[in-house]
Structure formats: structure tokens, C-alpha cells
């Protein structure tokens, strides 16, 4: 099995909301000081899904990450979890794209890699929450897609997926090659092993520039955007919380019930 | 773009009913169409869905495109993308809207790129820009920490819309509209996925999306036993139980009751948030609640910023005492 996983470096989405700031002059997110970036959590679970298939069937897992000035410690994490190869599409020309221009670059890089049975992406990246790159890659490469997976298996040369739905899940089968996007219901990603971390340190990365993959520079990054962002802002929350107190916690709780009765919320 | 006119809504039918999101989209689409002085159409896709055309008209559509085919009984990406492509090319809408649902989030990106356009997923506001006439698409980003406004100049301009972000019109059964039947023209061999099984995980009692009261627990609840107490409280208040993501990830409760950005969107009258911190991703699913009541032992927890009332302390002490007092006050 040849498996490709697309992985994005993002600001830590679990950082406290109060640390999030926008630079209104540039319409950009201000870098969070002291909070290191991470791999987008759904992408990490996409790596996990790929490794589970590698565990069961053998094969090779190749990670692709697109960005500029990517932190090696962050993007190498999938290698330390057990992935085999890391390809970076690393160039300023690749960044600040929308789902379309990002997927275009990833798709032609995937074509250059050549051999693949499955492509995994996270269901959405934790920064822009676009939720489209997987579908776009599938569309460009003409592959079947199954999105929001919680279980992925390969059975009789087909991929069998449990897809999360609003009230349960569906079991869907597709021919391969196919593209799957992964959700947190898959379960936690494995930890890096010491052996993995050592191997990741030694591993030579493959770095591709736009010319290396034959990318049409009008179609990548900012230049290739089909959507334009006009404004980025933080909605104001006028929080006025009335803290209900009492002699002790039980008393405060009883006072809360009384209060809610008073304002007809009970 | 010059030839593209009108607003089209992909109207989902769920469990034999026009879905609430479809009605909300028709309400929003009606406003946009009126502003553009153009037509509002609905696109009904499925098997045995023709009968919903009249309802779509009552909720605001001027025209309904019906694509009814046995091959469309269950949603399958390849089939539905082909149908949306076909109808969009025939009708040439200026704007095409879908719901941010299981189907919408899978279908919209692929259909958009097939049509040579783009889409913004999970919008919470849509407006026509007065000067450019472009659709301004407002979408929460960074887990809800910020919002961004996007536009696109390709057609149709596409967006999916978050549940409960828009209001449906009061249905008017006297409204008249036109129904256009379009043949699906599908090639079964081109559908590369196969639906083997649908599993519905029933949750007892009131449906989360419709519940007037929700008692929601977070990581601080600590286990399935704690959720039993929340269930009893929910029962007393005639409400439903929800959760933040960690209780679902840990298997204390069913995945289907996760509330938030990647879970359910709810807007009850009363949302009692117990031992959850109020992450932006969680608030994305519940900030539409009329009244949030927070119970958390950390006075600095973000949830207090969203709440109307709060108690600081250990839920293990607060919930039983609150339950007892509420029961007494309600005379039960
Ligand atoms: C892309 C993305 C999508 C996500 N989607 C969702 C989503 O849809 N829904 C969602 O909920 N999360 C989602 N998350 C996860 C989210 O970021 C948070 O990790 C999660 O919401 C935290 O859940 P919590 O508040 O229960 O846990 P915590 O943040 O750990 O908070 C636990 C709280 O419980 C309090 N507490 C502990 N013990 C007690 C006690 N005995 N009494 C009273 N209070 C106590 C603590 O003070 C703390 O405030 C998503 C994350 C990402 C990156």
C-alpha cells in the first residue's frame, strides 16, 4: 500500500481564546507569542489512520506539508510516529492560498510522487476551518472521496470507511485509489516513539519548489485564489455574567435555581 | 457572470421531511433574491422527492428543479455532484447555497470545483455588497475566534450555511411557483462509492437540536457516571444532554451529542454548561443559546464570558443541590 497524507502546520487551536489576536492593519492573525504551532489535529489523526493501514497491510506512508518557514520539529512529527517520507512544498509562493490553490499545488505534487492507493487529509484545518482541500484534491485527480471518516480499513482491494453523520455513521466502500478525510472520532493519534524521533532526526527531507513540481505559478498561493478575503475581525462579545453566590457551593446552587425561577428560565 | 441570474437553494429532504436547514436557506435566499430583483429557485434531489416542491414554494421558492431518480435515493458524492453540475449549468444561478450538513459539506466543495467556481463553507451571514453586487460571505475561522468575509467573482457564487444562522419564512400555501423536472441522466458505473450500511445511534428523549433546555457536560465531568446525573437533571427540566468533545472522545457519551464547530449546532432557551471551559470550538455550537448558565470551578474559565448566570465551584456539589432545589421549586 502506498499512502499519502497531507498535513498542515497551524497555530495551536487549543491555546486559550484570550491569546488570539488580529492585526487589523494587515488583516492577518497576529503570531501567538510563547505558543508553538502544531500539526492541525485532524491531520494528525489522518496520519494515524494511514499508520493503522500500514500496520495491517504494510506499505509506505508519505507525508506532504505545504507552507513557508515550516518548523522542522513540528512537521517531522508524523515521521516520529512512524511515517516513512516527508515532502515539503516550501516556498513563499505556495502560501496564503485558498482551498483551491492549495489543493492544486498538493495535487500536482501527489502526481509527481506517482504511486498511491490512498490519500488522507484531515476533515478541516484548525486555522481557516475551510474543510475543502481534500475534496479539491480528489476532484483534480478524479478520485472518489469519502469525507469525515472515523474508521478506515482496506478489504479486498477496496477501502471501507465509517463516515460520521449527524445521527450515527454510514459504512461506505470505494475503489482505490481514493481520498479520505479524517475526523476526531477515529481516536487519538499514537505518540511518537524514541526510535521514531531518532529516525525522524536523521531523515532527509524532500523539499520542492513550484518549479520542481511544474506548478503554474498563477494557480498557486495568493495568485491562485478564487476567493478573496475582505475583512478579518473578532466579533465583540459583551459578556456580563452574574455570578450567583451563597454560603457554600450547595447554597449557591440553590440560589441559582431560585434566580432562574425568578427570571422564568426554569 | 453576466449571464448568471437568480439564487438557487439545494433543499435537503431528511427523514421524509423538508429539512429545517432547507427552510432556513429558502428564507435567506428569498431576501437575497428580492434584493437582486431576481428569482429564487430550489433544487430537490433524491428519490420520491417531487412531492416536496409545493412546500419549497410555500417557503419562498419561485421555481423548483426536481431531479428524481432511484439512483439518488441515498446520498453518494459522485451522483449528487453530477446532478448539481447538470442543473447549475442549465439554470445558471448567480448564487448557489447549500446547508452545512453531512451532505452539504461533502457535496459543495466538489460541485464548486467541478463548476470552475469556489465555495465558502459554514457561513453565518450572507449579504449582497451594494456596489459590486457580489455575495459577501461571512464565516467563522480559527475555531470561532475570528470571522472572515469572503467574496468570489466566479459563478455561481457558492456557500454553505450553518444551521440556525438564518430564519425561515412563515410558509404561505397560496404562493405560486413553477416546477421543472430535470432527468438525472446518471451513469451508474461512474459512481465510485457504495453505501453499504447506515447506522443510526438513537439518543433517548428530546432531540438535541429541538430541545428548549440543554444540560451540557465537559471534560471536568470525569466519566459516564457523572453524565447520569446530568441526564436526570435534563429529564427534570424536560431537556436533553449535550457534551463538549472530550466526553465523546473518551467514550463517556455517544459521539452524536457533541456540540460545537464539528458537532451539533444548538440554540436552546437555556444552555447549562457544566465543567466545560468554553473553547471557541465549543462555543461555535452553542453561542446562539438564549441563556447560557455556567458551572465551573475556575472563575477565569472562558465560558463565564458567554454566560448570563454562573456559579463558581465543584459541579459534584452544585448539580445535586441545584437539582433538588429546582425540583422543589417546580413542585415535582
Ligand atoms: C478543529 C477543531 C474542532 C473542534 N471541534 C470541537 C467541537 O465541535 N466541540 C467541542 O466541544 N470541542 C471541539 N474541539 C476541541 C476544543 O478545542 C476543546 O479542546 C474542547 O472543547 C474542550 O472541552 P472541555 O471544555 O470539556 O475541556 P477543558 O477545556 O479541559 O475544560 C474542562 C473544564 O472543566 C472545569 N472543571 C474540571 N473539574 C471540575 C469540577 N469538578 N467542577 C467544576 N468544573 C470543573 C475546568 O475548570 C475546565 O474549565 C475542537 C478542536 C479543534 C482543534
CB contact under 8 A, A229 and B294: no
Give the CATH architecture of domain B208-329: 3-Layer(aba) Sandwich (3.40)
Give the CATH architecture of domain B7-190: 3-Layer(aba) Sandwich (3.40)
Q: Taking CB atoms and an 8 Å cutoff, what residues of chain B touch A250?
A: 317-318, 320-321
- Does the pLDDT value for residue A37 go beyond 90? yes
pLDDT of the residue at A183 = 98
Sign of the alpha-carbon torsion through B123, B125, B130, B131 = negative
Alpha carbon distance A215, A180 (integer Å): 24
Note the pLDDT tens digit of each residue in B9-30.
999 999 899 999 999 999 999 9
Q: Taking a contact as any Cβ pair under 8 Å apart, which residues of chain B between 133 and 152 contact chain A?
A: 136, 139-143, 145-152
pLDDT of the residue at A255 = 98
Asked if residue B247 lies in contact with residue B253, where contact means CB atoms within 8 angstroms, the answer is yes
Tell me, in angstroms, the distance from the centre of ligand 1 to residue B280's CA. Answer: 9
Note the pLDDT tens digit of each residue in B155-203.
999 999 999 999 999 999 999 999 999 999 999 999 999 999 999 987 7
Nearest to B55 by CA among B184, B167, B182, B175: B175
CB contact under 8 A, A266 and B237: yes
Asked if the domains at B7-190 and B208-329 fall in one CATH topology, the answer is yes
Alpha carbon of B13 to those of A125, B187, B261: distances in Å?
29, 23, 23
Domain ranges in chain A are 2-224, 239-266
Q: Taking CB atoms and an 8 Å cutoff, what residues of chain A touch B311?
A: 243-245, 249, 252-253, 256
Domain ranges in chain B are 7-190, 208-329
Question: CA of B101: which chain A residue's CA is closest?
Answer: A166
Note the pLDDT tens digit of each residue in B107-155.
999 999 999 999 999 999 999 999 999 999 999 999 999 999 999 999 9
Alpha-carbon distance B123 to nearest alpha carbon in chain A (angstroms): 11
pLDDT of the residue at B2 = 57
Mean pLDDT along residues B257-272: 96
Task: Record the cell numbers describing residue B192, joined without a space.
Answer: 465510485
Note the pLDDT tens digit of each residue in B199-234.
998 777 889 999 999 999 999 999 999 999 999 999
Burial label for B132, CB within 10 Å (0-12, 13-18, 19+), is: exposed
| CB contact set of B197 (below 8 Å; sequence gap of 6+) | A170, A171
Strand boundaries in B56-210, DSSP class E: 63-68, 95-99, 119-123, 125-128, 135-141, 146-152, 157-161, 178-181, 193-200
Alpha-carbon distance B103 to nearest alpha carbon in chain A (angstroms): 9
pTM > 0.90: yes or no: yes
For residue B264, the 8-state DSSP code is B
Q: Taking CB atoms and an 8 Å cutoff, what residues of chain B touch A138?
A: 110
pLDDT of the residue at A9 = 97
Do the bridges between strand B95-99 and strand B7-11 make them parallel or antiparallel, or are there none, so unpaired? Answer: parallel
Do the bridges between strand B157-161 and strand B146-152 make them parallel or antiparallel, or are there none, so unpaired? Answer: unpaired
- Does the pLDDT value for residue B97 go beyond 60? yes
pLDDT of the residue at A238 = 72
Give the CATH architecture of domain A2-224: 3-Layer(aba) Sandwich (3.40)
Mean pLDDT along residues A223-249: 92
- Does the pLDDT value for residue A236 go beyond 90? no
pLDDT of the residue at B180 = 98
Tell me, in angstroms, the distance from the centre of ligand 1 to residue B278's CA. Answer: 6
Asked if residue B162 lies in contact with residue B267, where contact means CB atoms within 8 angstroms, the answer is no
CB contact under 8 A, B318 and A241: no
**Pick from A123, A128, A228: which is nearest to B151 by CB?**
A228
CB contact under 8 A, B248 and A185: yes
Question: CA of A262: which chain B residue's CA is closest?
Answer: B329
CB contact under 8 A, A16 and B121: no
Q: Taking a contact as any Cβ pair under 8 Å apart, which residues of chain B between 301 and 320 contact chain A?
A: 302, 304-314, 317-320
Ligand 1, pocket residues at CB < 6 Å? A 13-14, 41, 126; B 143, 218-220, 244-246, 258-263, 275-277, 279, 281-282, 285, 296-298, 301, 314-316
Q: Taking CB atoms and an 8 Å cutoff, what residues of chain B touch A229?
A: 148-150
Strand boundaries in chain A, DSSP class E: 2-6, 9-10, 22-23, 28-29, 38-39, 60-67, 85-90, 118-122, 145-155, 158-165, 168-175, 178-182, 206-208, 227-233, 242-243
Question: CA of B157: which chain A residue's CA is closest?
Answer: A227
B207 touches chain A (CB under 8 A): no
Q: How many CB atoms lie within 10 A of CB B255?
A: 20
Tell me, in angstroms, the distance from the centre of ligand 1 to residue B303's CA. Answer: 10
Considering only CA atoms, which residue is closest to atom 14 of ligand 1?
Answer: B281
Alpha carbon of B73 to those of B16, B67, B220, B298: distances in Å?
12, 11, 42, 50
**Pick from A17, A100, A231: which is nearest to B118 by CB?**
A100
Mean pLDDT along residues A143-152: 98
- Using the atom order of ligand 1, give the atom closest to the CA of residue B219: 26
Q: Taking CB atoms and an 8 Å cutoff, what residues of chain B touch A44?
A: none
Task: Record the cell numbers describing residue B114, joined without a space.
Answer: 467541478
Considering only CA atoms, which residue is closest to atom 39 of ligand 1?
Answer: B220
- What spatial distance separates the first Cα and last Cα of chain A, rounded to whole Å? 58
Note the pLDDT tens digit of each residue in B278-304.
999 999 999 999 999 999 999 999 999
Amino acid at each position: 500500500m502506498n499512502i499519502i497524507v497531507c498535513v498542515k502546520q497551524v497555530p495551536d487551536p487549543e491555546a486559550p481564546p484570550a491569546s488570539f489576536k488580529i492585526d487589523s492593519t494587515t488583516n492577518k492573525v497576529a503570531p501567538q507569542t510563547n505558543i508553538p504551532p502544531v500539526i492541525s489535529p485532524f491531520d494528525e489523526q489522518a496520519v494515524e489512520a494511514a499508520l493503522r493501514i500500514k500496520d495491517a497491510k504494510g506499505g509506505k506512508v508519505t507525508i506532504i506539508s505545504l507552507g513557508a518557514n515550516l518548523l522542522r520539529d513540528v512537521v517531522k512529527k508524523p515521521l516520529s510516529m512512524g511515517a516513512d517520507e516527508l515532502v515539503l512544498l516550501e516556498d513563499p509562493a505556495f502560501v496564503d492560498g485558498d482551498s483551491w490553490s492549495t489543493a492544486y499545488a498538493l495535487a500536482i505534487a501527489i502526481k509527481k510522487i506517482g504511486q498511491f492507493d490512498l490519500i488522507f487529509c484531515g476533515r478541516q484545518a484548525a486555522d481557516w476551518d475551510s474543510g475543502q482541500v481534500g475534496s479539491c484534491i480528489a476532484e483534480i485527480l478524479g478520485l472518489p472521496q469519502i469525507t469525515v471518516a472515523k474508521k478506515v480499513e482496506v478489504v479486498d482491494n477496496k477501502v471501507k470507511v465509517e463516515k460520521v453523520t449527524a445521527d450515527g455513521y454510514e459504512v461506505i466502500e470505494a475503489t482505490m485509489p481514493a481520498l479520505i478525510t479524517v475526523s476526531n472520532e477515529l481516536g487519538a493519534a499514537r505518540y511518537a516513539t524514541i526510535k521514531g524521533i531518532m529516525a525522524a532526526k536523521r531523515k532527509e527531507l524532500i523539499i520542492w519548489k513550484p518549479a520542481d513540481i511544474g506548478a503554474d505559478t498563477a494557480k498557486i498561493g495568493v495568485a491562485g485564489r478564487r476567493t478573496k478575503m475582505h475583512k478579518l475581525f473578532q466579533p465583540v462579545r459583551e459578556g456580563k455574567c452574574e455570578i450567583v453566590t451563597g454560603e457554600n457551593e450547595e447554597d449557591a446552587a440553590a440560589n441559582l435555581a431560585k434566580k432562574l425561577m425568578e427570571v422564568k428560565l426554569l | 457572470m453576466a449571464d448568471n441570474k437568480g439564487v438557487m437553494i439545494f433543499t435537503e429532504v431528511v427523514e421524509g421531511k423538508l429539512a429545517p436547514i432547507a427552510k432556513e436557506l429558502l428564507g435567506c435566499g428569498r431576501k437575497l433574491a428580492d434584493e437582486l430583483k431576481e428569482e429564487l429557485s430550489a433544487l430537490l434531489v433524491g428519490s420520491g422527492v417531487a412531492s416536496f416542491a409545493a412546500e419549497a414554494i410555500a417557503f419562498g421558492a419561485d421555481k423548483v428543479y426536481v431531479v428524481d431518480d432511484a439512483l439518488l435515493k441515498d446520498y453518494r458524492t459522485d451522483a449528487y455532484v453530477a446532478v448539481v453540475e447538470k442543473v447549475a449549468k442549465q439554470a445558471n444561478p448567480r448564487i448557489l447555497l447549500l446547508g452545512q450538513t453531512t451532505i452539504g459539506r461533502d457535496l459543495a466543495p466538489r460541485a464548486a470545483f467541478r463548476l470552475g467556481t469556489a465555495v465558502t463553507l459554514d457561513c453565518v451571514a450572507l449579504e449582497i455588497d451594494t456596489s459590486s453586487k457580489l455575495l459577501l460571505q461571512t464565516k467563522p475561522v480559527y475555531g470561532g475566534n475570528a470571522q472572515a468575509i469572503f467574496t468570489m467573482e466566479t459563478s455561481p457564487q457558492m456557500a454553505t450555511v450553518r444551521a440556525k444562522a438564518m430564519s425561515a419564512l412563515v410558509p404561505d400555501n397560496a404562493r405560486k411557483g413553477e416546477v421543472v423536472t430535470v432527468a438525472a441522466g446518471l451513469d451508474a458505473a461512474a459512481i465510485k462509492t457504495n453505501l453499504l450500511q447506515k447506522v443510526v445511534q438513537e439518543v433517548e428523549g428530546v432531540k438535541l437540536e429541538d430541545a428548549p433546555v440543554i444540560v451540557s457536560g465537559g471534560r471536568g465531568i470525569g466519566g459516564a457516571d457523572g453524565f447520569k446525573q446530568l441526564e436526570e437533571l435534563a429529564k427534570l427540566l424536560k431537556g436533553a444532554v449535550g457534551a463538549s468533545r472530550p466526553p465523546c472522545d473518551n467514550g463517556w457519551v455517544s459521539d452524536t451529542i457533541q456540540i460545537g464547530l464539528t458537532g451539533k449546532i444548538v440554540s436552546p432557551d437555556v444552555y447549562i454548561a457544566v465543567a466545560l471551559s468554553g473553547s471557541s470550538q465549543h462555543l461555535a455550537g452553542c453561542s446562539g443559546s438564549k441563556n447560557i448558565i455556567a458551572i465551573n470551578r475556575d472563575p477565569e474559565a472562558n465560558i463565564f464570558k458567554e454566560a448570563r448566570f454562573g456559579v463558581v465551584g465543584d459541579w459534584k456539589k452544585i448539580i445535586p443541590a441545584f437539582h433538588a432545589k429546582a425540583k422543589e421549586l417546580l413542585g415535582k
